[in-house]
Amino acid sequence: MSWPIGFSDVTGAAERIRPYLSPSPLRSYPTLDDAVGAGIRVLVKHENFLPTGAFKVRNGLSALTALPADALARGVVAASTGNHGQGLAYAGSRLGAAVTICVPVGNNPEKNAAMRALGAAVVEEGRDYDEATEVAARLVRERGFTLVHSTNSPTVVAGAGTLALEVLQAHPGLDAMVIALGGGSQAVGAMTVARELAPRLRVFAVQAAGAAATHDAWHSGVVRTLAKVDTFAEGLATRSVYELTFPALRAGLAGFVTATDAEIADAMRLLLRTTHTLVEGAGAAGLAGLLKLRDTLAGQQVGIVLSGANIDEANLRRVMSREI
């Protein structure tokens, strides 16, 4: 197979976004190590500290800084449940580009408000993320926008790879990373960097059990589109695989697990207790996956990514009251 991006794409993205974004912290917490157990040392990549509270600001900046001036002048459009949209909106505000984000009806209202506050136009249409992508494609045809897909874009995946580049530059001895997977940009970005800088590093993925299309296809080899998804972790709520990332995921991942909403909520509460860090469901999924992989990764140094902190008040209340 042809790998979707190269290491030079990641380093190029890192150069382009450097004027706009400082590296996020990489930290360890003895109390978290004790809670995980099995002699595992956990390295926590705090993408939740980036300007929009999520790693996808890297993707947005990488994509928009790679566009020619005429495309920026026409404007860009994307579908998002929030974090990709916020990342693009932030990038658009820094680069002077108009951004339109298509979200499903009933999307996280706080994420919608954040996108609008950054200057994006938000179109609420479709029953889920996948239908919102169809709305975005229609706007490309009608208005001449440039589509910046959340996953099927090499510059987006290269942007996601910059977080793994920072991890391995700071901690080259890492044994494994456990990465939450919606479309796969983080995981493919991490594998791309590892192939160049740390070939022995293993990358594992975790997906929400209620939105496990990629997990199921990875294990069975049969690609199916789900009729619906059921998870409070909207950053992972996708119904199918993505053509740019899936072949690389199938070829390169060391393992792939799912986590239930209850397990993701447990991981959120554990992070709050041990690191005093509040994240959204997708942001805690890496830890939920690590707990499922504890025996496999015993005695190793393992990186997880707190990929987003943008949980809405209603779901936060459900998590903290143990309704989830």
Q: Which of 45, 56, 111, 292 is catalytic?
A: 56
> What's the pLDDT at 316?
95
Task: Supply the DSSP string of 6-45, one letter for each residue.
Answer: -HHHHHHHHHHHTTT-PPPPEEE-HHHHHHH-TTPEEEEE
CA 57 to chain CA mean position, Å: 10
Q: What percent of the chain has pLDDT over 70?
A: 100
Summarize pLDDT for 140-177 with one digit per residue, the tens. 999 999 999 999 999 999 999 999 999 999 999 999 99
Q: Inter-axis angle of helices 154-170 and 56-65, to 10 degrees? A: 120
Q: What is the mean pLDDT of the chain?
A: 96
Mean pLDDT of 14-29: 98
For position 135, what pLDDT does the model report? Answer: 97
3-state secondary structure of 78: strand
Mean pLDDT, residues 118-133 = 93
Q: What is the reported pLDDT for 217?
A: 97
Domain covering 56-147 in this structure, CATH number: 3.40.50.1100
Decide if pLDDT at 1 tops 80.
no
Annotation marks residue 292 as catalytic: no
The whole-angstrom separation of Cα 51 and Cα 42 is 24
2 in catalytic set: no
Tell me the per-residue pLDDT of 199-225, one tens digit each, with 9 for 90 and over. Answer: 999 999 999 999 999 999 999 999 999
Pairing of strands 255-259, 202-208: parallel
pLDDT for res 196 = 97
- The C-alpha atoms of residue 306 and residue 203 are separated, in whole angstroms, by 16
| Segment holding 257, helix H or strand E | strand 255-259
Pairing mode, strands 41-45 and 26-28: antiparallel
Q: Is the pLDDT of residue 302 over 90?
A: yes
Q: Which residue has the tokens 């993925």?
A: 205
> Burial of 231 by CB count in 10 Å (0-12 exposed, 13-18 middle, 19+ buried)?
buried
What value does the mean pLDDT take over residues 78-106? 95
pTM (2 decimals)? 0.94
pLDDT digits (tens, 9 = 90+) for 33-53: 999 999 999 999 999 999 999
| CA nearest to 302, candidates 22, 55, 36, 35 | 36
Q: Give domain limits for the chain.
A: 7-54+153-320, 56-147
Query: 7-54+153-320 and 56-147 share one CATH topology?
Result: yes
CATH topology of domain 7-54+153-320: Rossmann fold (3.40.50)
Per the CB < 8 A criterion, the answer to whether 42 and 167 are in contact is: no
**Mean pLDDT score, 56-76:** 97
Place of tokens 């609420």: 124
